[in-house]
A and B are shown apart, each in its own frame.
Chain A
Amino acid sequence: MVPEDLKYTKEHEWVKVEGTKATIGITDHAQSELGDITFIELPEIGSEINVSDSIATVESVKAASDIYAPLAGKVTEVNEALESSPEVVNQSPYDEGWILKVEVSGDSGKENLMDQAAYETYIKENK
């Protein structure tokens, strides 16, 4: 189940771009590889991010996975509900389990994003 209306990165993040705003989360594939998520370290609202910066960390019992900024911009919102209920990312990775929202500046990073079909192929090849 890879939604059609999102873009994807090789690090298994999804991005929903709406004008200059982007919402970022991790894919269903990523959450299932990690297993039960126990903690998410969220970025600070207002922080400036550049493409490839480590902006958040998703932890399970035996792994910690960094989330890298797919686009540059400024963090406008974080999903604070995840602080007390990180399992929401397991349950609803594309919807309630979104991680942060960004006010995008510039186009850098966009060239690396995959569409649904490309991401599905990418997952299969890297299994």
Chain B
Amino acid sequence: MGMIFEVSKQGKRGVTLPGKDVPVSSEVPKGYLRSKEAGLPSVSEPEAVRHFTSLSNKNFNVDSNFYPLGSCTMKYNPKITEKVANFERFSSLHPLAPQLIKGGRLAQGSLEVLYETEKALCEITGMDEFTTQPMAGAHGELTGIMMIAAYHSHKKNKKKYVIIPDSGHGTNPASAAIAGYEVKSIRSNDEGIMDMDEFKKHLSQEVAAVMLTCPNTLGVFNPHIKEISDLAHEHDALMYYDGANLNAILGKARPGDLGFDVVHLNLHKTFATPHGGGGPGSGPVGVKKDLIPFLPVSRVEKRQDGTFSLNYDEPLSVGYVSPFYGNFSVILKAYVYIYLLGKEGLIDASESAVLNANYLKSELKDSYDIPFDKNCLHEFVISALKQSKKGVRALDISKALIDEGIHPPTIYFPLIVKEAMMVEPTETESKATLDWFIGIMKSIARLAEKDPEHFKSLPQKAPVRRPDEVKAAKEMDVAYL
């Protein structure tokens, strides 16, 4: 399909602007002006709309496709959340308004949304306070580690390391490293959880934090979690909870009760805000009492009279992590979701997500290797090792699924499983869809036995077929200029 630059023709325009209504002209000396125009496209509105609509039709998406992408929680996004986020009084509020004298009253509705969301997230996770400022999960991780650093430095603790299991999300070691810590990676044992002996060997007074996902990326709940947090606390190391997998345990277990001190959530996973083709997300961070003074500013506070205000006066705070209050409209959608579903709805979401995952796992067991065949929670990992011996790798199976209109699972992650395919169906899929998926996965496994060569030509029905990634990386054609 052609690029928008190829549709462009000089003189066309997609929006008309009002004429100049002021009697003066600004005189900026020529030396400050660009020497030639920016070369943006010139297209009419119908051409632009048709171009982008055609592009949209080349995407798999949750409204059209089953999307069992492990660790990404691709659940359906209730439409009412979009509607509310588009209310003009939410969407057009200037973020600096409440920082003005008498400006606070302009923003009472939005401040209440932030306050109530923080309160709900505290109860859901068992934490004492939340900030909604981090703009994505990894940003929440960075914020959390910054707070941990501030806590240790305030206590004059000398800390150097962050412990992370090898099954952890790549963002974990990356966040710890950019916050100034060295990463100690702990291998998983044959049950798919962090090896306790290895953990104890690496735990010392120099460890600042232990970063865990629970259930982990294999969908396994670590039964030693309390022991781990007790040991960590004995060394004055803090427990960090990566909330990517919270959808597994709503109402069943809370990071706060498990001994975690810092928690980040991914509102675009558990709380049904749409992924937007890669973002925006929102990564609020919750903490236990001891870490409250280090939360980023500003803090939303409720006054005696029931109105809301912003507090910037927190001397121990890590400071500003976001220009304002986080990705407000994403936070709003998550709050709408919590308000809409309520207690029973949230519990049902986790129960059904876990039921769907276990059902898929048990039905796929005969056709694929399951490296850690324990009770999983909301997701599980299968391996295409059996199929790869015939020459059909996880990547090839993905392409076969694309032809069936199914978005492939997360492949080659976690790194500790060969030919990994990580499956997370979520709760918003029907049994009929799951059965259909099972049928297709089984017939793929049969075909891999019979005709492995067939897979090399897949996918056949997608707009493109196995783009050359080597060529892309070598030529680096990243802009049309």
Residues of chain A having any CB pair with chain B under 8 Å: 36, 38-39, 59-62, 86
Chain A residues, CB < 8 A from B412: 62
Is B470's CB within 8 Å of the partner chain A? yes
| Docked complex Cα distance between A59 and B470 (Å) | 11
A-B contact count (CB 8 A): 13
By Cβ-Cβ distance, the 8 closest A-B pairs, closest first, are: A38-B473, A36-B470, A61-B469, A38-B474, A61-B473, A38-B470, A61-B470, A39-B473
| Docked complex Cα distance between A61 and B474 (Å) | 9
B422-481, CB < 8 A from A: 469-470, 473-474
| Docked complex Cα distance between A39 and B472 (Å) | 12
| Docked complex Cα distance between A36 and B98 (Å) | 55
Chain B residues, CB < 8 A from A62: 412
| Docked complex Cα distance between A5 and B412 (Å) | 37
Q: How far is the CB of A84 from chain B (nearest CB, A)?
A: 9
| Docked complex Cα distance between A86 and B469 (Å) | 15
Chain A residues, CB < 8 A from B469: 61
| Docked complex Cα distance between A62 and B473 (Å) | 10
| Docked complex Cα distance between A79 and B469 (Å) | 24
Closest to A36 in B: B470
| Docked complex Cα distance between A62 and B413 (Å) | 12
Closest to B472 in A: A61
Q: How far is the CB of A123 from chain B (nearest CB, A)?
A: 17
Known pairs A39-B474, A60-B470; list 11 more (Cβ under 8 Å): A36-B470, A38-B470, A38-B473, A38-B474, A39-B473, A59-B473, A61-B469, A61-B470, A61-B473, A62-B412, A86-B474
Q: How far is the CB of A127 from chain B (nearest CB, A)?
A: 12
| Docked complex Cα distance between A50 and B412 (Å) | 34
Q: How far is the CB of B222 from chain A (nearest CB, A)?
A: 28
| Docked complex Cα distance between A58 and B473 (Å) | 13
| Docked complex Cα distance between A70 and B405 (Å) | 50
| Docked complex Cα distance between A60 and B473 (Å) | 8
Q: How far is the CB of A112 from chain B (nearest CB, A)?
A: 22
Q: How far is the CB of A64 from chain B (nearest CB, A)?
A: 11
| Docked complex Cα distance between A59 and B469 (Å) | 13
Q: How far is the CB of A12 from chain B (nearest CB, A)?
A: 18
Chain B residues, CB < 8 A from A39: 473-474
Chain A residues, CB < 8 A from B473: 38-39, 59, 61
What are some 13 contacts across the A-B interface (CB < 8 A)? A36-B470, A38-B470, A38-B473, A38-B474, A39-B473, A39-B474, A59-B473, A60-B470, A61-B469, A61-B470, A61-B473, A62-B412, A86-B474
| Docked complex Cα distance between A61 and B412 (Å) | 13
Q: How far is the CB of A34 from chain B (nearest CB, A)?
A: 11
Closest to A39 in B: B473
Closest to A84 in B: B474
Closest to A37 in B: B470
Q: How far is the CB of B266 from chain A (nearest CB, A)?
A: 24
| Docked complex Cα distance between A38 and B472 (Å) | 9
| Docked complex Cα distance between A61 and B395 (Å) | 14
Chain B residues, CB < 8 A from A36: 470
| Docked complex Cα distance between A116 and B476 (Å) | 38
Chain A residues, CB < 8 A from B470: 36, 38, 60-61
| Docked complex Cα distance between A61 and B470 (Å) | 6
| Docked complex Cα distance between A60 and B412 (Å) | 15
| Docked complex Cα distance between A63 and B470 (Å) | 12
Greatest chain B CB density within 10 A among A39, A59, A61, A86 is at A61
Q: How far is the CB of B378 from chain A (nearest CB, A)?
A: 26
